[in-house]
Structure 1
Amino acid sequence: MGTDWSLHAVAPPVGVAEGVQAALDRVVAQMSQWEAGSDLARFNRAPAGEWHSLPSEFADVVAAGLAIGSASGGAFGIALGELSEAWGFGTAPPSTSLGTALVPAPDGVDFDPATRNIRRRDGALLDLSGIAKGYGVDLAADWLLAQGVRHFLIEVGGELRGEGIRPDGQPWWVDVEVPPSWAGAGWRIALHDLSVATSGDYRRGVEIDGQHYSHSFDPRTGRPIANGVRSVTVVHRQCMMADGWATALTVLGAEAGIMLADERDLAACILANGREHVSRAWSAMLD
């Protein structure tokens, strides 16, 4: 995933690091767009229109991504791989004709959750980078719980999930990172059987002809966003959902993002245009 991970656990069993690494390796082997031998890479190289059977983990992420895309009115997409490649966020340098070549990505894939079969349409390449890392956190956390580890905090590239409590009886407290030069202070969140993910325009981007472009795309336009959003943080039981929704709300922008977060009862905080915008569920967590 191009990042590292850390774990704080109470009374972990022997071999816990190897078990966590194996869970994360499974996500990479199935869903990485940078590993040529991954299931995702092979799927993207196969001819459009062919049906392929997915491993259960891969299918879970595809189903969640499609659900978030539908619930957000298309603000989240899992078939933006062609755009990612063109803008230099994939395996190739950015295209030299971006201004004229880019068009909005199609819906992209047909997926049957009952059989776990999927096919892509012309012009669509799977890209799960907006949700797979959060799923990796969940997969590792579920493995830990299955081993009897009830109290831990796991972090993968800035996405976190806390289970149980610390040895001193306190919850797992984590500080939310704020963008550089942001005037306000960040939040401190208690992760007691909760996850948190943050999407920010300051983490990744590309410089083309002296102009900086965000790594977050609007699937409806096929272009990087330019809506004033600096970062979005979402707290959710599942890290996969926190990860995916943070991306979707980033695309929607502050006003529409908070409106949808309230409709979906999502705990979300959006930093945009010099202001902090929070959902009702986020405000309720302060009480």
Structure 2
Amino acid sequence: MHAPPPGARVAVPLSLPADLAPPPGGLDVEASGLAMGVTWTLKAVTLPGLGPEVLARTVQGRLDAVVAEMSPWELSSHISAFNRAPAGAWLDLPEGFAQVMTCALEMARLGQGAFDPTIGALTDLWGFGPAGPVEAPPTPELIEAALARAGWERLAFEAQPRRLRQPGGLALDLSGIAKGFGVDQAARALLALGVRHFLLEVGGELRGEGLKPDGLPWWVELERLEGEVEGQSPVVLALCGLSVATSGDYRRYIIHEGRRLAHTLDPRTGRPSERGVACVNVLGPEAMRADAWCTLLSVVGAEEGLALCAAHGIPARFMVHTKKGLEERLSPAFQALLDD
């Protein structure tokens, strides 16, 4: 996007670094690839010697490393090894895995179980995991059995020396946080190369640093959804040192008896969340935390979610199903970013 469309509301960071200008003679490059079951794209301003091939290898390598650690679709991954481990076994974790577990358990405590990284059995049961899709929702008995195997409080995690204990039958699912972590890891690798101006997108999660070659921000328009109430002007983000994560009930779901059951499961009930949230966008300096917040807020709904956002200073935008259509709800921190 070259510029925000007429009438758009623009969300800009409250503070910017002083030395923000793109480098003189910088090269405008693009790269893309496949990882984590999604596509990724990169737009960057770089210096000679850091062309698209180098940047593509850098991003792909970091994303592939996250997959090797945290994808339950990979039988050789660390998460798969943990999920297969016998009761009482301790698994040594790579540094990245330990960082994700630290954040995931913090979010589980904050959300009082509305975010839970231990619902792998439930994810499979509903057809959203490696076991593949299902034709109909599981029975209440199967849901109760899967819930009995889950529970973040059953985990024993030691940040040092980075290890996790399998209590028996528990299956981790980090899909609500790992993609955001992958974005952060790739962004850190680019910054370490000296690439300070880029926009990275991985399956709908974005991270922007610096400016475009023309000296303007990386403009990102939040997705417009079918059924939005008329008169709601579009929102455009100026991503500069910021990430945005999105969770929506329209992305992955099953249809049963005319009802759309979204992939966001409420760990407290074992069923898809039915709090009327069509979409949540969360901004933050870390894509990992923004990703986790999106998952949590989609589960608890707009009313409880806005209270949590107000208490913790989280910039979030909800699109909520109402009788009139999809209506917007903004947290105070998100409203503060809008350029009126």
Q: TM-score range by the shorter chain?
A: over 0.9
Deviation for aligned residue 1:196: 0.2
Aligned mate of 1:16, from 51, 55, 72: 55
2:9 corresponds to which residue?
Answer: none
- Tell me, yes or no, if structure 1 residue 101 matches structure 2 residue 142: yes
What does residue range 1-287 of structure 1 map to in structure 2 within 5 Å? Answer: 1-11=36-46, 13-14=50-51, 15-92=54-131, 93-94=133-134, 97-103=138-144, 104=147, 105-107=150-152, 108-183=154-229, 184-208=232-256, 211-273=259-321, 274-287=326-339
Q: Any unmatched runs of 5+ in structure 2? A: 1-35
Deviation for aligned residue 1:150: 0.5
TM-score (norm 1): 0.96
In structure 1, what is the Cα distance between the partners aligned to 2:173 and 2:83? 9
**Are 2:181 and 2:288, in contact at CA under 8 Å, matched by a contact in 1?**
yes
Change (3 A) 1:168 1:66: same
Task: For residues 247-271 of structure 1, give each alpha carbon's deviation from its aligned partner in whole angstroms, at most 9, with x where no partner exists.
Answer: 1011110000000001000000111
In structure 2, what is the Cα distance between the partners aligned to 1:180 and 1:109? 41
Q: Which amino acid aligns with 1:10?
A: V
In structure 1, what is the Cα distance between the partners aligned to 2:141 and 2:257? 15
TM-score (norm 2): 0.81
Aligned-partner SS, 2:46: coil
Aligned-partner SS, 1:213: strand
In structure 1, what is the Cα distance between the partners aligned to 2:43 and 2:187? 12
Q: Which amino acid aligns with 1:136?
A: G
How many residue pairs are counted as aligned between the two chains? 287
Change (3 A) 1:249 1:97: closer
In structure 2, what is the Cα distance between the partners aligned to 1:258 and 1:2? 31
Task: For residues 189-235 of structure 1, give each alpha carbon's deviation from its aligned partner in whole angstroms, at most 9, with x where no partner exists.
Answer: 00010000010000001234554311001111111111110000000
Q: Which amino acid aligns with 2:185?
A: L
Q: Any unmatched runs of 5+ in structure 1? A: none
CA RMSD of aligned residues (A): 1.5
Instruction: Flag the structure with larger Rg.
Output: 2
Deviation for aligned residue 1:69: 1.2
- Aligned sequence identity (%): 47
Is the deviation greater in 102-111 or in 273-282?
A: 102-111
Deviation for aligned residue 1:145: 0.3
Is the deviation greater in 122-131 or in 201-210?
A: 201-210
Aligned-partner SS, 1:61: helix
